[in-house]
Structure 1
Protein backbone atom coordinates (compact mmCIF):
# COMPACT_ATOMS: atom_id res chain seq x y z
CA UNK A 1 0.00 0.00 0.00
CA UNK A 2 1.54 3.30 -1.13
CA UNK A 3 0.37 6.74 -0.09
CA UNK A 4 1.63 10.20 -1.00
CA UNK A 5 2.25 13.18 1.28
CA UNK A 6 3.44 16.68 0.43
CA UNK A 7 6.29 18.17 2.43
CA UNK A 8 7.74 21.65 1.98
CA UNK A 9 11.46 21.72 1.12
CA UNK A 10 12.31 23.43 4.39
CA UNK A 11 10.73 20.53 6.33
CA UNK A 12 12.20 17.60 4.40
CA UNK A 13 15.11 16.89 6.77
CA UNK A 14 12.78 16.93 9.76
CA UNK A 15 10.35 14.61 7.96
CA UNK A 16 13.15 12.18 7.13
CA UNK A 17 14.28 12.25 10.76
CA UNK A 18 10.75 11.31 11.79
CA UNK A 19 10.72 8.50 9.22
CA UNK A 20 13.90 7.14 10.81
CA UNK A 21 12.35 7.34 14.29
CA UNK A 22 9.30 5.37 13.11
CA UNK A 23 11.05 2.76 10.97
CA UNK A 24 14.70 2.70 12.06
CA UNK A 25 17.89 4.14 10.57
CA UNK A 26 17.66 3.91 6.80
CA UNK A 27 19.91 3.83 3.77
CA UNK A 28 19.32 6.83 1.51
CA UNK A 29 20.25 7.47 -2.10
CA UNK A 30 20.10 10.82 -3.87
CA UNK A 31 19.66 11.39 -7.58
CA UNK A 32 20.03 14.70 -9.38
CA UNK A 33 17.15 15.41 -11.77
CA UNK A 34 15.90 18.45 -13.70
CA UNK A 35 13.41 19.07 -10.90
CA UNK A 36 15.90 18.77 -8.03
CA UNK A 37 17.37 15.96 -5.94
CA UNK A 38 15.19 12.86 -5.57
CA UNK A 39 15.74 11.17 -2.19
CA UNK A 40 15.03 7.45 -1.77
CA UNK A 41 14.99 5.97 1.72
CA UNK A 42 14.74 2.27 2.59
CA UNK A 43 14.27 1.41 6.26
CA UNK A 44 15.28 -1.87 7.91
CA UNK A 45 11.65 -2.86 8.53
CA UNK A 46 10.92 -2.71 4.77
CA UNK A 47 9.27 0.71 4.67
CA UNK A 48 10.34 2.94 1.80
CA UNK A 49 9.95 6.60 0.94
CA UNK A 50 10.69 8.33 -2.36
CA UNK A 51 10.76 12.14 -2.13
CA UNK A 52 10.36 13.84 -5.51
CA UNK A 53 10.98 17.61 -5.63
CA UNK A 54 9.60 20.32 -7.90
CA UNK A 55 12.48 22.73 -7.39
CA UNK A 56 11.93 25.06 -10.34
CA UNK A 57 12.28 28.80 -9.87
CA UNK A 58 10.57 31.08 -10.78
CA UNK A 59 7.22 29.30 -10.75
CA UNK A 60 4.17 30.38 -12.72
CA UNK A 61 0.77 29.62 -11.18
CA UNK A 62 -2.45 29.38 -13.19
CA UNK A 63 -5.69 28.41 -11.42
CA UNK A 64 -9.05 28.50 -13.20
CA UNK A 65 -12.53 27.46 -12.13
CA UNK A 66 -16.01 28.48 -13.16
CA UNK A 67 -16.13 30.77 -10.14
CA UNK A 68 -12.89 32.64 -10.77
CA UNK A 69 -9.19 32.53 -11.48
CA UNK A 70 -5.74 33.32 -10.11
CA UNK A 71 -2.46 33.93 -11.93
CA UNK A 72 0.87 34.59 -10.21
CA UNK A 73 4.63 34.52 -10.61
CA UNK A 74 6.56 33.29 -7.59
CA UNK A 75 10.30 33.37 -6.93
CA UNK A 76 12.27 32.12 -3.97
CA UNK A 77 9.14 30.60 -2.47
CA UNK A 78 7.33 33.95 -2.37
CA UNK A 79 4.44 35.24 -4.43
CA UNK A 80 5.30 38.19 -6.64
CA UNK A 81 2.94 39.87 -9.06
CA UNK A 82 -0.48 38.23 -9.08
CA UNK A 83 -4.07 38.67 -10.11
CA UNK A 84 -7.09 37.06 -8.48
CA UNK A 85 -10.52 37.65 -9.98
CA UNK A 86 -14.06 36.34 -10.27
CA UNK A 87 -15.97 35.54 -13.45
CA UNK A 88 -19.12 33.48 -13.22
CA UNK A 89 -19.74 30.56 -15.56
CA UNK A 90 -23.14 28.97 -15.00
CA UNK A 91 -23.43 25.31 -14.11
CA UNK A 92 -25.01 22.79 -16.44
CA UNK A 93 -28.78 22.52 -16.57
CA UNK A 94 -31.09 19.55 -16.95
CA UNK A 95 -33.62 21.55 -19.00
CA UNK A 96 -34.26 20.39 -22.58
CA UNK A 97 -35.25 21.83 -25.93
CA UNK A 98 -34.59 25.42 -27.00
CA UNK A 99 -34.01 26.51 -23.42
CA UNK A 100 -31.14 24.08 -23.06
CA UNK A 101 -29.55 25.19 -26.31
CA UNK A 102 -29.83 28.86 -25.36
CA UNK A 103 -28.39 28.11 -21.94
CA UNK A 104 -25.50 26.12 -23.48
CA UNK A 105 -24.64 29.04 -25.78
CA UNK A 106 -24.67 31.47 -22.86
CA UNK A 107 -22.55 29.13 -20.76
CA UNK A 108 -20.08 28.67 -23.61
CA UNK A 109 -19.80 32.43 -24.07
CA UNK A 110 -19.11 32.92 -20.36
CA UNK A 111 -16.42 30.22 -20.41
CA UNK A 112 -14.79 31.79 -23.48
CA UNK A 113 -14.73 35.20 -21.79
CA UNK A 114 -13.16 33.66 -18.70
CA UNK A 115 -10.44 31.97 -20.75
CA UNK A 116 -9.68 35.18 -22.67
CA UNK A 117 -9.37 37.13 -19.41
CA UNK A 118 -7.03 34.58 -17.83
CA UNK A 119 -4.86 34.38 -20.96
CA UNK A 120 -4.45 38.16 -20.86
CA UNK A 121 -3.40 38.17 -17.22
CA UNK A 122 -1.04 35.22 -17.74
CA UNK A 123 0.62 36.92 -20.71
CA UNK A 124 1.16 40.08 -18.68
CA UNK A 125 2.27 38.49 -15.39
CA UNK A 126 4.19 35.44 -16.61
CA UNK A 127 5.59 36.69 -19.92
CA UNK A 128 5.93 40.41 -19.32
CA UNK A 129 3.31 41.03 -22.07
CA UNK A 130 5.71 39.52 -24.62
CA UNK A 131 4.24 36.58 -26.53
CA UNK A 132 7.69 35.55 -27.81
CA UNK A 133 10.25 36.27 -25.08
CA UNK A 134 13.82 35.06 -25.52
CA UNK A 135 14.28 31.52 -24.31
CA UNK A 136 15.70 31.45 -20.80
CA UNK A 137 15.12 35.17 -20.26
CA UNK A 138 15.40 36.28 -16.65
CA UNK A 139 12.13 36.43 -14.75
CA UNK A 140 10.29 33.90 -16.90
CA UNK A 141 8.77 30.89 -15.15
CA UNK A 142 10.77 27.67 -15.36
CA UNK A 143 7.72 25.55 -14.51
CA UNK A 144 3.99 25.86 -13.90
CA UNK A 145 1.63 24.98 -11.06
CA UNK A 146 -1.86 24.54 -12.46
CA UNK A 147 -5.20 23.73 -10.90
CA UNK A 148 -8.95 24.12 -10.94
CA UNK A 149 -11.07 22.99 -13.88
CA UNK A 150 -8.91 20.78 -16.09
CA UNK A 151 -10.64 21.71 -19.36
CA UNK A 152 -10.54 25.46 -18.69
CA UNK A 153 -6.87 25.33 -17.65
CA UNK A 154 -5.97 23.48 -20.84
CA UNK A 155 -7.82 26.04 -22.95
CA UNK A 156 -5.80 28.79 -21.29
CA UNK A 157 -2.45 27.07 -21.78
CA UNK A 158 -3.19 26.19 -25.41
CA UNK A 159 -3.77 29.85 -26.32
CA UNK A 160 -1.29 31.07 -28.97
CA UNK A 161 -0.40 34.07 -26.77
CA UNK A 162 1.01 31.65 -24.18
CA UNK A 163 2.94 29.36 -26.52
CA UNK A 164 6.17 30.24 -24.68
CA UNK A 165 4.81 28.39 -21.63
CA UNK A 166 4.09 25.20 -23.51
CA UNK A 167 6.43 22.35 -22.71
CA UNK A 168 7.36 23.61 -19.25
CA UNK A 169 7.36 21.12 -16.35
CA UNK A 170 3.91 21.09 -14.74
CA UNK A 171 2.61 20.21 -11.30
CA UNK A 172 -1.15 19.60 -11.29
CA UNK A 173 -3.38 20.50 -8.34
CA UNK A 174 -6.87 19.91 -9.67
CA UNK A 175 -8.31 19.35 -6.20
CA UNK A 176 -8.03 23.04 -5.26
CA UNK A 177 -11.26 25.01 -4.61
CA UNK A 178 -12.34 28.27 -6.27
CA UNK A 179 -9.25 30.50 -6.52
CA UNK A 180 -8.83 33.17 -3.85
CA UNK A 181 -5.73 34.72 -2.34
CA UNK A 182 -5.41 32.02 0.30
CA UNK A 183 -5.90 29.30 -2.34
CA UNK A 184 -3.14 30.91 -4.41
CA UNK A 185 -0.82 30.76 -1.41
CA UNK A 186 -1.77 27.10 -0.88
CA UNK A 187 -1.01 26.37 -4.54
CA UNK A 188 2.47 27.85 -4.15
CA UNK A 189 3.15 25.92 -0.95
CA UNK A 190 1.98 22.62 -2.44
CA UNK A 191 3.50 23.34 -5.83
CA UNK A 192 7.04 23.64 -4.49
CA UNK A 193 6.70 20.80 -1.99
CA UNK A 194 8.28 17.39 -2.22
CA UNK A 195 5.82 14.64 -3.07
CA UNK A 196 6.80 11.67 -0.95
CA UNK A 197 5.53 8.21 -1.92
CA UNK A 198 5.52 6.06 1.22
CA UNK A 199 5.26 2.28 1.18
CA UNK A 200 4.53 0.71 4.54
CA UNK A 201 6.53 -2.29 5.76
CA UNK A 202 5.21 -5.75 4.89
CA UNK A 203 2.71 -7.20 7.35
CA UNK A 204 4.27 -9.50 9.90
Structure 2
Protein backbone atom coordinates (compact mmCIF):
# COMPACT_ATOMS: atom_id res chain seq x y z
CA UNK A 1 0.00 0.00 0.00
CA UNK A 2 1.32 3.42 -0.97
CA UNK A 3 -0.37 6.65 0.18
CA UNK A 4 -1.47 8.71 -2.83
CA UNK A 5 0.68 11.65 -1.71
CA UNK A 6 3.82 9.49 -1.88
CA UNK A 7 3.13 7.66 -5.12
CA UNK A 8 4.91 10.10 -7.47
CA UNK A 9 8.09 9.79 -5.37
CA UNK A 10 7.62 5.99 -5.28
CA UNK A 11 7.50 5.86 -9.09
CA UNK A 12 10.56 8.11 -9.31
CA UNK A 13 12.46 5.73 -7.01
CA UNK A 14 11.32 2.76 -9.13
CA UNK A 15 12.71 4.43 -12.27
CA UNK A 16 15.99 5.21 -10.49
CA UNK A 17 16.34 1.57 -9.44
CA UNK A 18 15.22 -0.11 -12.68
CA UNK A 19 15.80 2.33 -15.53
CA UNK A 20 13.52 3.92 -18.11
CA UNK A 21 9.92 2.84 -17.54
CA UNK A 22 7.03 2.66 -20.02
CA UNK A 23 3.60 3.37 -18.54
CA UNK A 24 0.23 1.99 -19.64
CA UNK A 25 -3.24 2.53 -18.21
CA UNK A 26 -6.34 0.46 -17.51
CA UNK A 27 -7.76 -0.58 -15.13
CA UNK A 28 -4.98 1.09 -13.10
CA UNK A 29 -1.49 2.35 -13.94
CA UNK A 30 1.21 -0.09 -14.94
CA UNK A 31 4.91 0.54 -15.40
CA UNK A 32 7.41 -1.74 -17.16
CA UNK A 33 11.09 -0.99 -16.80
CA UNK A 34 13.88 -1.75 -19.24
CA UNK A 35 15.34 -4.37 -16.87
CA UNK A 36 12.08 -6.37 -16.94
CA UNK A 37 10.77 -5.21 -13.59
CA UNK A 38 7.20 -3.93 -13.40
CA UNK A 39 4.61 -2.45 -11.10
CA UNK A 40 0.83 -2.32 -11.19
CA UNK A 41 -1.01 0.34 -9.15
CA UNK A 42 -4.73 0.41 -8.41
CA UNK A 43 -6.79 3.29 -7.06
CA UNK A 44 -8.65 2.81 -3.76
CA UNK A 45 -12.19 1.42 -3.52
CA UNK A 46 -11.86 -0.51 -6.77
CA UNK A 47 -11.89 2.71 -8.83
CA UNK A 48 -11.15 1.92 -12.49
CA UNK A 49 -8.71 4.22 -14.27
CA UNK A 50 -8.58 4.43 -18.06
CA UNK A 51 -7.11 7.90 -18.59
CA UNK A 52 -3.68 8.96 -19.88
CA UNK A 53 -0.76 6.76 -18.83
CA UNK A 54 0.78 9.51 -16.71
CA UNK A 55 1.37 9.46 -12.96
CA UNK A 56 -0.09 12.96 -12.46
CA UNK A 57 -3.29 12.14 -14.38
CA UNK A 58 -3.63 8.86 -12.51
CA UNK A 59 -3.40 10.65 -9.15
CA UNK A 60 -5.74 13.47 -10.27
CA UNK A 61 -8.41 10.85 -11.03
CA UNK A 62 -8.66 9.92 -7.34
CA UNK A 63 -10.60 11.74 -4.65
CA UNK A 64 -11.74 10.19 -1.38
CA UNK A 65 -15.50 9.55 -1.20
CA UNK A 66 -17.55 12.33 0.38
CA UNK A 67 -19.31 9.82 2.65
CA UNK A 68 -17.97 6.36 3.43
CA UNK A 69 -17.69 3.92 6.29
CA UNK A 70 -15.17 1.64 7.96
CA UNK A 71 -15.86 -1.49 9.98
CA UNK A 72 -13.28 -3.70 11.69
CA UNK A 73 -14.42 -6.79 13.60
CA UNK A 74 -12.48 -9.48 15.38
CA UNK A 75 -13.49 -11.79 18.22
CA UNK A 76 -13.59 -9.58 21.27
CA UNK A 77 -13.35 -6.20 19.56
CA UNK A 78 -14.67 -3.88 16.88
CA UNK A 79 -14.15 -0.42 15.43
CA UNK A 80 -16.59 1.52 13.30
CA UNK A 81 -16.23 4.96 11.73
CA UNK A 82 -17.99 7.28 9.32
CA UNK A 83 -15.81 9.50 7.20
CA UNK A 84 -16.11 12.50 4.93
CA UNK A 85 -13.14 12.37 2.62
CA UNK A 86 -10.13 11.72 4.85
CA UNK A 87 -11.78 13.01 8.03
CA UNK A 88 -13.40 10.80 10.67
CA UNK A 89 -16.70 12.45 11.65
CA UNK A 90 -17.96 9.79 14.08
CA UNK A 91 -16.52 6.58 15.44
CA UNK A 92 -16.73 3.94 18.15
CA UNK A 93 -14.15 1.41 19.29
CA UNK A 94 -15.20 -1.29 21.73
CA UNK A 95 -14.30 -4.61 23.27
CA UNK A 96 -16.24 -7.56 24.58
CA UNK A 97 -14.76 -10.51 26.45
CA UNK A 98 -14.59 -13.69 24.38
CA UNK A 99 -13.30 -16.89 26.03
CA UNK A 100 -9.94 -18.10 24.73
CA UNK A 101 -9.44 -21.59 23.35
CA UNK A 102 -9.10 -24.44 25.83
CA UNK A 103 -7.04 -27.62 25.67
CA UNK A 104 -9.64 -29.58 27.60
CA UNK A 105 -11.31 -32.43 25.76
CA UNK A 106 -14.74 -34.04 25.66
CA UNK A 107 -17.73 -32.27 27.18
CA UNK A 108 -15.61 -29.52 28.70
CA UNK A 109 -14.28 -28.59 25.28
CA UNK A 110 -17.80 -28.54 23.81
CA UNK A 111 -19.04 -26.40 26.72
CA UNK A 112 -16.19 -23.91 26.24
CA UNK A 113 -16.84 -23.82 22.47
CA UNK A 114 -20.54 -23.03 23.05
CA UNK A 115 -19.64 -20.33 25.56
CA UNK A 116 -17.12 -18.86 23.14
CA UNK A 117 -19.66 -18.82 20.30
CA UNK A 118 -22.25 -17.13 22.53
CA UNK A 119 -19.75 -14.51 23.67
CA UNK A 120 -18.70 -13.86 20.06
CA UNK A 121 -22.36 -13.45 19.07
CA UNK A 122 -22.81 -10.84 21.83
CA UNK A 123 -19.68 -9.02 20.60
CA UNK A 124 -20.99 -9.03 17.00
CA UNK A 125 -24.36 -7.70 18.18
CA UNK A 126 -22.67 -4.83 20.04
CA UNK A 127 -20.61 -4.03 16.95
CA UNK A 128 -23.73 -4.15 14.76
CA UNK A 129 -25.58 -1.74 17.06
CA UNK A 130 -22.80 0.83 16.81
CA UNK A 131 -22.40 0.25 13.07
CA UNK A 132 -26.12 0.85 12.65
CA UNK A 133 -25.87 4.09 14.62
CA UNK A 134 -22.75 5.55 13.02
CA UNK A 135 -23.40 4.36 9.47
CA UNK A 136 -27.16 5.01 9.27
CA UNK A 137 -28.09 6.31 5.81
CA UNK A 138 -24.61 5.67 4.41
CA UNK A 139 -24.59 5.64 0.61
CA UNK A 140 -20.87 5.44 -0.07
CA UNK A 141 -18.59 2.44 0.11
CA UNK A 142 -17.93 0.41 3.25
CA UNK A 143 -14.37 -0.69 3.94
CA UNK A 144 -14.21 -3.80 6.11
CA UNK A 145 -11.50 -5.89 7.75
CA UNK A 146 -10.90 -8.51 10.44
CA UNK A 147 -12.43 -11.95 10.95
CA UNK A 148 -14.36 -12.77 7.78
CA UNK A 149 -17.23 -14.56 9.52
CA UNK A 150 -17.49 -11.81 12.13
CA UNK A 151 -17.49 -9.01 9.57
CA UNK A 152 -20.19 -10.76 7.52
CA UNK A 153 -22.30 -11.25 10.65
CA UNK A 154 -21.96 -7.64 11.77
CA UNK A 155 -22.72 -6.27 8.29
CA UNK A 156 -25.87 -8.41 8.06
CA UNK A 157 -27.06 -7.59 11.58
CA UNK A 158 -26.55 -3.87 10.94
CA UNK A 159 -28.43 -4.05 7.61
CA UNK A 160 -25.43 -2.82 5.60
CA UNK A 161 -25.13 -5.74 3.16
CA UNK A 162 -26.32 -3.67 0.18
CA UNK A 163 -23.39 -1.25 0.38
CA UNK A 164 -20.39 -1.78 -1.90
CA UNK A 165 -17.73 -3.41 0.28
CA UNK A 166 -13.96 -3.28 0.02
CA UNK A 167 -11.74 -5.53 2.14
CA UNK A 168 -8.46 -4.33 3.55
CA UNK A 169 -5.61 -6.49 4.79
CA UNK A 170 -6.05 -8.40 8.03
CA UNK A 171 -6.37 -6.40 11.23
CA UNK A 172 -3.80 -7.61 13.77
CA UNK A 173 -5.03 -8.09 17.31
CA UNK A 174 -8.11 -6.53 18.86
CA UNK A 175 -9.19 -3.37 16.99
CA UNK A 176 -8.28 -0.19 18.87
CA UNK A 177 -8.20 3.49 17.96
CA UNK A 178 -4.74 3.09 16.40
CA UNK A 179 -6.05 0.14 14.34
CA UNK A 180 -8.93 2.30 13.12
CA UNK A 181 -6.64 5.14 12.06
CA UNK A 182 -4.23 2.73 10.34
CA UNK A 183 -7.15 1.13 8.49
CA UNK A 184 -8.31 4.55 7.26
CA UNK A 185 -4.82 5.12 5.86
CA UNK A 186 -4.82 1.70 4.19
CA UNK A 187 -8.27 2.25 2.68
CA UNK A 188 -7.16 5.55 1.13
CA UNK A 189 -3.84 4.19 -0.18
CA UNK A 190 -3.01 2.81 -3.62
CA UNK A 191 -2.55 -0.94 -3.90
CA UNK A 192 0.80 -1.51 -5.63
CA UNK A 193 2.00 -4.88 -6.88
CA UNK A 194 5.70 -5.04 -7.76
CA UNK A 195 7.84 -7.59 -9.62
CA UNK A 196 11.62 -7.07 -9.51
CA UNK A 197 13.66 -8.86 -12.17
Select which of 172, 178, 183 maps to 2:179.
183
Query: Is the contact made by 1:64 and 1:152 (CA closer than 8 Å) also made in structure 2?
Result: yes
Q: Which moved more, 1:47-56 or 1:180-189?
A: 47-56
Structure 2 residues not aligned, in runs of 5+: 46-63
* TM, length-normalised to structure 2: 0.82
Call closer, same or farther: CA 1:175–1:69 in 2, change over 3 Å: closer
Cross-structure match for 1:64: 73
Select which of 23, 30, 52 maps to 1:28.
23
By how many angstroms is 1:9 displaced?
A: 0.9
Cross-structure match for 1:43: 33
Per-residue CA deviations over 1:2-39 (Å, capped at 9, x if unaligned) read xxxx10111111111111111122111223x5xxxx11
Q: Runs of at least 4 residues of structure 1 off by over 6 A?
A: none
By how many angstroms is 1:172 displaced?
A: 2.7
Task: Give the alignment of 1:22-171 within 5 angstroms.
Answer: 22-31=17-26, 38-55=28-45, 57=65, 58-128=67-137, 140-159=138-157, 161-165=159-163, 168-171=164-167
By how many angstroms is 1:87 displaced?
A: 0.6
RCO (CA 8 Å, sep 6+): is it higher in 1 or 2? Answer: 1
Compute the RMSD of aligned alpha carbons. 1.8
Cross-structure match for 1:194: 190
By how many angstroms is 1:174 displaced?
A: 1.6
Distance across 2 between alignment mates of 1:29 and 1:66:
43
By how many angstroms is 1:153 displaced?
A: 1.2
Distance across 2 between alignment mates of 1:152 and 1:10:
33
Call closer, same or farther: CA 1:116–1:175 in 2, change over 3 Å: closer
Alignment size in residue pairs: 178
Distance across 2 between alignment mates of 1:42 and 1:21:
13
* TM, length-normalised to structure 1: 0.79
Query: Is the contact made by 1:68 and 1:179 (CA closer than 8 Å) also made in structure 2?
Result: yes
Match of 1:161, SS state, is: coil
